[in-house]
């Protein structure tokens, strides 16, 4: 055999490649061939949206029912004072819509509105998040990966709707640990959290928790499908969204 440098290098290269494949293959073999797919019963949409009939859920008591259902499912603590965590809560017209009116009709003046994350099309929180812990899913939901949240609170500064809460303290201290929903995690101190449009329930084919207890006052569906129930309701009623002038394009509509 002709011992040239060229042959030696070829042989050395092949040996090194073979060793790499052999060592990697041994460990990878077991996991190779595994794939991911969507669940069969998962609800799908191009653009999830919500319509809230404020005539039907217009009181603090009615909204508290929605809030309790949501907060129980997602292990959201109730912390007295200014540092409370809220995924959905009640607010008056002026706070909610930023359109004060001196001579408002009395019913509207006293009405309370359920406020939650709007899952905006142009979500400022997604743009400002430095770690991409907050991100936009293809179905329009603005979701969070709490593993990546570093607690910088840029998203809270960016959100014009105040939809986000920061865990200033260990949330488990304010949760009844015997009554937790064991299918959903809690959060830890130092992360921001907000409504997730019940992505985990959609994956199981369930409607969001607040929709389920609302007796039809809150409707959830695909905004991109002209035949969906939500689009039918939007066609038939006058609805407004929060702070439309900011151009964030909320997905939550309110029947006034």
Binding site for another protein (CB under 8 A): 27, 30-40, 42, 75, 135, 137-139, 143, 145-147, 172, 177-178, 180, 182-188, 199, 203
Least separation in angstroms between residue 136's CB and another protein is 10
CA distances from residue 50 to 147, 179, 221 in whole angstroms, order as listed: 27, 28, 6
DSSP string, 165-197: EE--S-GGGGS-GGG--TTS----TT-EE---T
Contact yes or no for 79/169 (Cβ under 8 A):
yes
Q: Which is nearer to another protein, 12 or 20 (CB)?
A: 20
Q: Which residue has the tokens 């959201």?
A: 76
Q: Which is nearer to another protein, 31 or 100 (CB)?
A: 31
Q: Which is nearer to another protein, 66 or 195 (CB)?
A: 195
Q: How far is it between the farthest Cα atoms of the chain?
A: 101
State the DSSP code for 87: S
Q: Which two tokens stand for residue 80?
A: 């007295």
Least separation in angstroms between residue 2's CB and another protein is 43
Least separation in angstroms between residue 38's CB and another protein is 5
Q: Which is nearer to another protein, 142 or 217 (CB)?
A: 142
Least separation in angstroms between residue 187's CB and another protein is 6
CA angle 55, 214, 145 (to 5 degrees): 115
Least separation in angstroms between residue 122's CB and another protein is 19
Q: Which is nearer to another protein, 41 or 122 (CB)?
A: 41
């Amino acid at each position: 055999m002709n011992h040239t440098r060229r042959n030696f290098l070829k042989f050395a290269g092949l040996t090194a490649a073979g060793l790499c494949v052999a060592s990697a293959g041994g460990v990878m073999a077991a996991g190779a061939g595994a794939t991911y797919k969507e669940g069969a019963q998962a609800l799908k949409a191009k653009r999830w949206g919500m319509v809230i009939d404020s005539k039907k859920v217009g009181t603090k008591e009615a909204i508290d029912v929605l809030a309790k259902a949501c907060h129980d499912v997602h292990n959201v603590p109730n912390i007295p004072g200014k540092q409370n965590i809220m995924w959905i809560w009640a607010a008056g017209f002026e706070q909610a819509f930023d359109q004060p009116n001196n001579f408002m009709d009395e019913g509207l003046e006293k009405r309370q509105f359920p406020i939650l994350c709007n899952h905006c099309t142009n979500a400022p929180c997604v743009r400002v998040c430095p770690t991409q812990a907050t991100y936009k899913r293809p179905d329009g939901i603005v979701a969070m990966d709490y593993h990546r949240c570093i607690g910088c609170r840029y998203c809270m500064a960016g959100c014009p709707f105040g939809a986000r809460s920061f865990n200033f303290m260990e949330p488990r201290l304010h949760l009844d640990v015997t009554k937790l929903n064991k299918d959903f995690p809690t959060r830890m101190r130092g992360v921001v959290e907000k409504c997730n449009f019940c992505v985990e329930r959609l994956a199981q084919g369930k409607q969001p928790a607040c929709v389920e207890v609302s007796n039809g006052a809150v409707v959830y569906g695909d905004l991109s499908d002209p035949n969906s129930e939500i689009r039918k309701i939007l066609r038939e009623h006058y609805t407004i969204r929060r702070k439309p002038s900011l151009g964030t394009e909320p997905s939550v509509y309110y029947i006034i």
